[in-house]
Structure 1
Amino acid sequence: MNQHTTLVTGATQGLGLGIALDLAARGRTVLLHGRDRTRLDAVAAQMRGAAPEATVRTYLADLDQVHALTAHIRESEPRLDALVNNAVAGGGPDPRVRRFSRQGHELRFAVNHLAPYALARGLLPLLTDSAPARIVNVASMGQEAIDFDDVMLERAYEGLRAYCRSKLALIMATFDLAEELDGTGVTVNALHPAHLMDTSGVRAYGLTPVTTVDEGVRPTVRLLLDPELETTTGRYFDQFTDTRAHEQAYDTEARRRLMVLTRALCGES
């Protein structure tokens, strides 16, 4: 049981921390990703104290450094049974401010879509060698159609709109990657974990939380561990319900255009 290894991005707070604690309590091997060494070490110590039977290892990296992170994990880990793409850039405390990644991409599109795609792509050799394996992309019920004439929202920018477009992009990429990996033993699904969880991101945007983090942890961990979902792939879940995402997610031409752009921005040939 302990050999089952899961990488959780954004694991030092909120939903990521909740998922990591749940998996540790089950005696799993949990790989924690974070951007702050002090917080990352504190969470690792907390988990080791609460679940001494679990194995906890940490990976410090900004998600701008995805290629270095994936190389480090492939070199260090003998197996990877699951990846949870949870790290997120929300609407932000001032939604009028347009922020950028180090590569110059709109920040929410970069963190919520490009980084999870690049991370999954970079870890595929390890995931396929460990199959059956699962990728779970933490999306949102907040989804807005992507304008391919203004993907980075250079016009009429607003943080929540950018967030909703980036989460739809993540779902669209989920569907494409699931099709690509069909038959490999690696499944890829996306979910909306819970509505307005009690997280710092929700509060920073000025919203009032209406659900607990635990309400988001349970459906996410289900997608990771439920044996009945071992072959379920290319789906979008609203918590526990397999449902439809935004209609653009089923537009094959829109998905093709997004994938061409995504591969180019991620430096794929």
Structure 2
Amino acid sequence: MSKTKTILITGSTDGIGKLAALKLAEAGHQVYLHGRDADKLASVIAEVQAVATGDAVDHIDGFVADFSDLTAVLKMATDVNEKLPKLDVLINNAGIYTTASAITKDGLDVRFVVNYLAPYELTNALLPLLKQSSKARIVNLSSAAQAPISYKAFVGQERLDDKAAYAQSKLALTMWSMDLADRVASDGINVIAVNPGSLLNTKMVDEAYGHHWSSADKGANILTALAVSDEFADDTGKYFDNDIKDGAHGAARGEFGQPHADALDKEAIAELESQTQQVLQSLY
């Protein structure tokens, strides 16, 4: 582990985001959390403060934003920019699979918004802060579930079931991650997309599937390592697959692997960027 880092983790009031926040604060890092419920966020901030060590104790805080509302995401970015002098690590962990209301107020599938457009907007708005770090890292939470994007669904003209919407949104995030890595390399910022492990013991997995393969710790451990370990100091533009280790669901850790082919296809990535800009321009 290297020196103390300033770290922002989205979707960190439960699941592997919360576990990673606890581990990182315990290791002495300054951790900023995010949640959509202010009371729950305050409660988790207190939990993280209780385990924080060193100077980190005075640098545990959080931000409230509903990631299904991109205006709220941009307001959070403004708040982060005003509060922090620099950002060493951004972990885009917030995600959604099943939900009672799959369509946002703007008529878009909530999975595309929360899992892809929100981190896209937040990250781009925080790039100036990340550039203030000597060697920043962005960790984007992908998934083993990645499926080609239907742009009719992406723009809200077609409805998808939960599984398809989730898999397409995660491929979008992974495609963007590979492109972002190229764009920010000269700024000393590394970008890694990670499948933290399939069917981990989290609330999201329980609501979606009702069973799990591995403990949530498996996912939190790889997030923690990708965030601060010197082992990954020079890795960027890569996809870490936490499932591929001896083919065993319970294995401690995976390795770098291949994402969906579209994530390495320049033409497909250019199409995603074009469609993304059109959707964003229609919203603001």
Which bin holds the TM-score, normalised by the shorter protein?
Answer: over 0.9
Shift of 1:3: 4.7
The aligned counterpart of 1:11 is 12
Matched residue pairs, number? 265
Aligned alpha-carbon RMSD (Å):
1.9
Separation (CA, whole Å) in 2 of partners of 1:73 and 1:156: 34
CA contact (8 A) 2:90 2:138 kept: yes
The aligned counterpart of 1:253 is 267
Shift of 1:66: 1.3
* Matching of residues 50-69 of structure 1 within 5 Å: 50-53=51-54, 54=56, 55-63=59-67, 64=69, 65-69=72-76
Point out where structure 2 has 5 or more consecutive residues left out of the alignment. Answer: 243-253
The aligned counterpart of 1:138 is 141
* Matching of residues 150-165 of structure 1 within 5 Å: 150-152=153-155, 154-155=157-158, 157-165=160-168
* Matching of residues 42-191 of structure 1 within 5 Å: 42-53=43-54, 54=56, 55-63=59-67, 64=69, 65-92=72-99, 99-152=102-155, 154-155=157-158, 157-191=160-194
Return the structure number with greater helix share: 2
Point out where structure 1 has 5 or more consecutive residues left out of the alignment. Answer: none
Shift of 1:152: 4.8
Q: What do residues 188-238 of structure 1 show as CA deviations (whole Å, max 9, x unaligned)?
A: 110000110111111112331111110001111111112132121111110
CA contact (8 A) 1:143 1:167 kept: yes
SS at the partner of 2:85? coil
Q: What do residues 98-128 of structure 1 show as CA deviations (whole Å, max 9, x unaligned)?
A: 6222333210000000001111100000001
Shift of 1:156: 5.9
Shift of 1:184: 1.0
Identity of aligned residues (%): 35
TM-score (norm 1): 0.92
Separation (CA, whole Å) in 2 of partners of 1:151 and 1:4: 36
CA contact (8 A) 2:152 2:158 kept: no
Shift of 1:91: 3.3
SS at the partner of 2:212? coil
CA contact (8 A) 1:139 1:167 kept: yes
Q: Which amino acid aligns with 2:278?
A: A
Which region of structure 1 is more displaced relative to structure 2, 199-208 or 210-219?
199-208
